[in-house]
Structure 1
Amino acid sequence: MKRLILTAAALLCTQAHAGAQHLIYPLETAVIQDRDDALAYVQSRYPQTGTLALLDTRQSLLGTHYHFAPQNDAGQPCEGAIVVTTDRQGQLYRLFNSLPDDTADCVLNLPLPPRPHTLLTPPAGEIVPATMTVFDPDPRTATGLALEGDHADVDDIVIPASAYQTVTGIEVTRQNGRLYLVNDRVMAVDIQSMAELETGPEQGLVSVADGSSFAFTRQDTAFRDVNAFYHLDHSLQYLAALGFTGSRALFTAPLKIDAQGQNTNNSTYLTDTGILAMGVGGVPDSEDADVVLHEFGHAINYQLVPDWKGGDSDAIGEGFGDYWAGAYSFWVQRDRNERFELDVFANWDGVVGALKSRRSLNDQEARYDPEMDYRAHVSVNGTLSDQLWSTPLFQTLKQAEAVYGEAAFDEFNRVVLEGMAGMGFGMKMHDLARSTVDAAQRLYPQKPYAQWLNARFKHHGILRDALVLAQSNSALTVTGKNQTELSLALIQSGASALNNVQVDLAMPALNWHQVVRSELVAAGAVTRVNESVSIPASLQCGETLSLNAEISFSQDTAQQPVNYRQELTFTYGVPVLSQPLLHLQQAIPDARQINQNGKILLGEALVALNVPAGAGLVSYDFAIQLSLSHPRFSDLKVTVRAPSGRSVTLLNYQSFPLPEKTDTFTMANTAGLSELLGEPMTGNWVLEVTDRVTGQSGKIHSWGVGAVTGYDCSQTGTSTDPQNKQTTDNPAKPENSSSSGGGSLGLFSLLFGVVMALARRRQF
């Protein structure tokens, strides 16, 4: 098995974002055995914190978490938190800190008192096994069929017998010759009345005679209670099997659920009363295990984090609920050759009726904006908040299952749950992403779960490296006799200064190496590196070159250092295509808001390019060249449509730290381009650039398609000979020199002498 490139410390702390830094990994060691030790440590590190009250002490798979909340002078709880996390031996491991600067005039965070309500609850008695008929997880997934056809009314759909499953050994309670839906984990109740809730029908308590089974179908309203009870009980047992038992148990009393608790087409976990109230509007929610387990996901959130509130917690909770439900549906289908709608949440509840609403677990276009607070079910810059969090989790689970099989479900679910432990009020997605990567590294250091999560969180912009190396042009051109211009930039993308920075740059093919050090690099610093480097005589025109960067820094002098690696790839020489480039300076229209409700009209630029007859077929040497500029590349999606109508995405709302980009997209570096193999090149090719965020516009400078026929490595820019190369001798490298391209002082001045602010508030 491959060793992870990133060290544990790097995986913990490589990312920085706009806004306060919540997760802190202290350098000092401290033994914390109880709440008093935890409080004493916090007060010694933050002497100006004021009065703190212990909210809760909770244990997880990897340690203990002491949750403190600030109080004002009147002893009232304020928004904010500090969580002290230790490992299993009581050694200080991490802090989560969202304390307010001043509690004198703080925003109160008063707990909600339980609203007035009356419940009908089953009686106590003897626990016995029973048999039940259920959907597992729903009729469409169970059969692998789109049963709804053209029916808009769910009651018109014929449910085949194969959609039902008989399950045995389910614990229920026997009392006075009848069986009731209650055990040590779950209690099926009937809400008789509840303030501020449009309660559902009063179905009473579902029971059967002793010796009978709970054999209902969806034509019987009792089926809803049975189905919801079974899936909730199964998921609670699964939590215990993952290790959340004993002192780590998340639920210590039966979790109450009313399968017909609301008259609306909505289900809710009522945090004040601790009840899951399921909706009966449209498709009754209790018929779909996805919805039951999604609501259970909210209950898990509040048990792992007692002050689950503020920041991005609403969207995270929705995304986690979708993930928890999707993971179970995936597990049910784990042995199937063809899996049914694996990336869809609520396959049954959301597919029919007047309000069709199925969320995706594979929204690859979702992008995170750290300056925004993500609420539940809202769209930010074209991204649905729920899908932004569920997608990287679920897609990593799929990746893990493809490699490790069934064992991946338990392992990865432990990672996701442990990642939430130790979070607190006001958490942001990047906080929880860092914690989840951290949990993966600590729980399974010999498996690449941490790497996979890190990559997916970066894809969505949830995690970003604090120092980023970037290039405007992927080609190295000849600028003089036996010389090439190495051009790159180092960008500090964090919100605060970095300490003790060291960047070790190396390009072995050019015999170039440089070490750069600085005690302090300001937030938003952008440094251009333009250095003339000698071309070795052995370098072949068209050769691929790698520039490696070993990066190290500290968030502050009291925290653990960060270490990670980045790599840039160049080609020596400009690729020459069989078809001429189309040169233009066409504007990319900015997206614009068209009404007061925030509706956005996308900005679109379309550029057609005609390839004449006789151009041949798309082969493995096919490439697309593109040059464009934009102040914020994360606004843009760039696709190319072939004459056949097939399209390939080149850029997909991905962050790029420089305002200009010139690149050659090939079969080797662009996923999906191989789908065009064998197609005729003749005809109209269309470049489509879409802008989905208001505030910035850009330009398309040039683009083209064709076979790569060679590389231009001449100074005049006229050669297309793929074997053309510079032949002048490479000057002897002085002994003990750290670089063949200049002294360290010169590059130090280049790297850290030019600083400008990158961060700016987006306009929406």
Structure 2
Amino acid sequence: MRRSLTLIGVAVTAALISTTPAASAGTTAGTAAATVFAPNPVQTLGRQDLTDAKDADLPVFAGAYRRVTLTDLDGTGRLAGRYVIVKSSTGKAATTVDGAFPAWHRDADQFEQVMGYYWVTTAQLYLQHLGFGSALRPVNQRQIELRIDQYGGDNSFFRDDKANISLGKGGVDDAEDAEVIVHEYGHSVQDGQVPGFGTTLESGSIGEAFGDYLAVAVTSWATGTPTLTPEACVADWDSTSYTSTAPHCLRRLDGNKHYPADVIGEVHADGEIWSRALWDIRTGLGDTRATTLIVEAQFSFTPDITFAAAAQATVDTAQRLYGTAAANTARAAFAARGIL
């Protein structure tokens, strides 16, 4: 079992539904309207003073809800589709009414179920938008099982032995923050590319870093770069339950940790060395090229890969896909962290 997060670890117009990337990507299965946070109320509202308030749907949250279109549904009226099936041990299972999911809010268990389905599917559609499954080989195009509120602590995790994700319900329920959901999906992505990935401190740190990076990349693609909160801040809604300073962040992608001086032997903390390198590649090359080469490089990883070997594989992939200038950008990012 891979523990991925720790305790350190309105309505809109129909135009939004039709132009949201997840809604507009080419799909062939069923669709249905639903209500979500996009990606979370802290980013949407720019409010660092929000608190969980025991799942209360306070008036302050009204402006954070968005009506979107769920895609790739299997047509049964449940939250089951091509890339994810949602299971929950709390509350009734979410089902459609007259072809749409009711506009549940955060005080209803079904809201988190919808969040899980929407954001896992959005993450997969983001990868396809980069060319994975068309110009490039498919990445994690399998149906995973997403378990909502079936872990009582403030933690979430991916189980590679069962290819499922569990999202916890301590503090802010983890499924209320899209970046927590997508972080966990990042582990599923790497496991799909390299079964059993993350067996050592350095490979495990790469896994946590990639999950953080993917969370930011996907949510910025789907909802736009945040303007009221720092883009590099990960899970700024979930983290309000266990951080005391603003902005609230589970972790950040733009820290200044250096290898090996700042290695402490904990995968989430050490992962910030790797995620800063990924962040700098994205800054230098833009989201599309950076994330494409980062994900493509992971096909050549091993379960126990080192920082240095993974960095060189990423540089080599940048050279193969985009040429010398891109490779130099990637190399410089890893060199700045002391990895190459």
- The TM tier, using the shorter chain, reads 0.7 to 0.9
In the TM superposition, 1:418-433 aligns within 5 A as 418-433=296-311
Report which of the two has the higher share of helix: 2
Name the counterpart of 1:297.
Answer: 186
Name the counterpart of 2:19.
Answer: none
Q: Taking every aligned residue pair, what percent have the same amino acid on both sides?
A: 27
Mapped to 2, the partners of 1:459 and 1:434 lie a distance apart of 14
Count of residue correspondences: 309
Deviations 1:479-520 (A, max 9, x none): xxxxxxxxxxxxxxxxxxxxxxxxxxxxxxxxxxxxxxxxxx
Deviations 1:643-687 (A, max 9, x none): xxxxxxxxxxxxxxxxxxxxxxxxxxxxxxxxxxxxxxxxxxxxx
Distance 1:413 1:214, change over 3 A: farther
Name the counterpart of 1:394.
Answer: 279
Name the counterpart of 2:63.
Answer: 162
Task: Give 1:243's aligned amino acid.
Answer: G
CA RMSD in angstroms, aligned pairs only? 2.8
Secondary structure at the residue paired with 1:314? helix
1:362 correspondence with 2:247? no
Determine if contact 1:131/1:213 at 8 Å carries over to the other structure.
Answer: yes
Determine if contact 1:139/1:159 at 8 Å carries over to the other structure.
Answer: no
1:450 correspondence with 2:340? no
- In the TM superposition, residue 209 of structure 1 has moved relative to its aligned partner by 2.3
Distance 1:339 1:251, change over 3 A: same
**Structure 1 length as normaliser, TM-score?**
0.38
Task: Give 1:411's aligned amino acid.
Answer: R
Deviations 1:278-306 (A, max 9, x none): 00110000010110000000011111112
Mapped to 2, the partners of 1:127 and 1:451 lie a distance apart of 42
In the TM superposition, 1:395-544 aligns within 5 A as 395-400=280-285, 408-445=286-323, 448-463=325-340
Mapped to 1, the partners of 2:105 and 2:122 lie a distance apart of 20
| Residue from 217, 226, 233 that aligns with 1:327 | 217
What 5-or-longer segments of structure 2 have no aligned partner?
3-27
Task: Give 1:433's aligned amino acid.
Answer: A
Q: Relative contact order (alpha carbons < 8 A, sep ≥ 6): 1 or 2 greater?
A: 2
Determine if contact 2:124/2:141 at 8 Å carries over to the other structure.
Answer: no
Deviations 1:150-186 (A, max 9, x none): x5746466433221111125232333xxx11111111
Name the counterpart of 1:135.
Answer: 37
Mapped to 2, the partners of 1:432 and 1:374 lie a distance apart of 18
Name the counterpart of 1:755.
Answer: none
Distance 1:169 1:222, change over 3 A: closer
Secondary structure at the residue paired with 1:414? helix
Mapped to 2, the partners of 1:441 and 1:289 lie a distance apart of 32
Mapped to 2, the partners of 1:431 and 1:254 lie a distance apart of 31
Mapped to 2, the partners of 1:208 and 1:333 lie a distance apart of 24
1:145 correspondence with 2:47? yes
In the TM superposition, 1:347-746 aligns within 5 A as 347-352=236-241, 358-364=250-256, 366-369=257-260, 374-377=265-268, 384-400=269-285, 408-445=286-323, 448-463=325-340
What 5-or-longer segments of structure 1 have no aligned partner?
1-110, 113-125, 191-200, 378-383, 401-407, 464-764
Report which of the two has the higher share of strand: 1
Deviations 1:336-367 (A, max 9, x none): 7x452212111100023578762111111x11
Mapped to 1, the partners of 2:208 and 2:250 lie a distance apart of 13
Mapped to 2, the partners of 1:183 and 1:413 lie a distance apart of 25
- In the TM superposition, residue 244 of structure 1 has moved relative to its aligned partner by 2.4
Distance 1:132 1:427, change over 3 A: same
Task: Give 1:180's aligned amino acid.
Answer: R
Name the counterpart of 1:234.
Answer: 122
Name the counterpart of 1:663.
Answer: none
- In the TM superposition, residue 237 of structure 1 has moved relative to its aligned partner by 1.9
Larger radius of gyration: 1
Distance 1:310 1:275, change over 3 A: same
Deviations 1:181-222 (A, max 9, x none): 1111111123xxxxxxxxxx4434221223333411111111
Mapped to 2, the partners of 1:354 and 1:306 lie a distance apart of 34
- In the TM superposition, residue 319 of structure 1 has moved relative to its aligned partner by 0.6
Determine if contact 1:313/1:375 at 8 Å carries over to the other structure.
Answer: no
Name the counterpart of 1:592.
Answer: none
Deviations 1:68-92 (A, max 9, x none): xxxxxxxxxxxxxxxxxxxxxxxxx
**Structure 2 length as normaliser, TM-score?**
0.82
Distance 1:411 1:358, change over 3 A: same
Deviations 1:430-470 (A, max 9, x none): 11111111111111116x3322221121111111xxxxxxx
Mapped to 2, the partners of 1:212 and 1:333 lie a distance apart of 21
Mapped to 1, the partners of 2:262 and 2:35 lie a distance apart of 48
1:256 correspondence with 2:145? yes
Secondary structure at the residue paired with 1:208? coil
Secondary structure at the residue paired with 2:30? strand
Secondary structure at the residue paired with 1:419? helix
Mapped to 1, the partners of 2:35 and 2:52 lie a distance apart of 26
Mapped to 2, the partners of 1:313 and 1:434 lie a distance apart of 14
Distance 1:332 1:250, change over 3 A: closer
Determine if contact 1:392/1:457 at 8 Å carries over to the other structure.
Answer: yes
In the TM superposition, 1:22-421 aligns within 5 A as 127-148=29-50, 151=51, 153=53, 155=55, 158-168=59-69, 170-175=71-76, 179-190=77-88, 201-245=89-133, 248-308=137-197, 309-332=199-222, 334=224, 338=227, 340-352=229-241, 358-364=250-256, 366-369=257-260, 374-377=265-268, 384-400=269-285, 408-421=286-299
Determine if contact 2:315/2:331 at 8 Å carries over to the other structure.
Answer: yes
Mapped to 2, the partners of 1:152 and 1:287 lie a distance apart of 10
Deviations 1:539-575 (A, max 9, x none): xxxxxxxxxxxxxxxxxxxxxxxxxxxxxxxxxxxxx
- In the TM superposition, residue 145 of structure 1 has moved relative to its aligned partner by 3.1
Name the counterpart of 1:650.
Answer: none
Name the counterpart of 1:98.
Answer: none
Mapped to 1, the partners of 2:289 and 2:130 lie a distance apart of 8
Distance 1:168 1:435, change over 3 A: same
Task: Give 2:40's aligned amino acid.
Answer: D
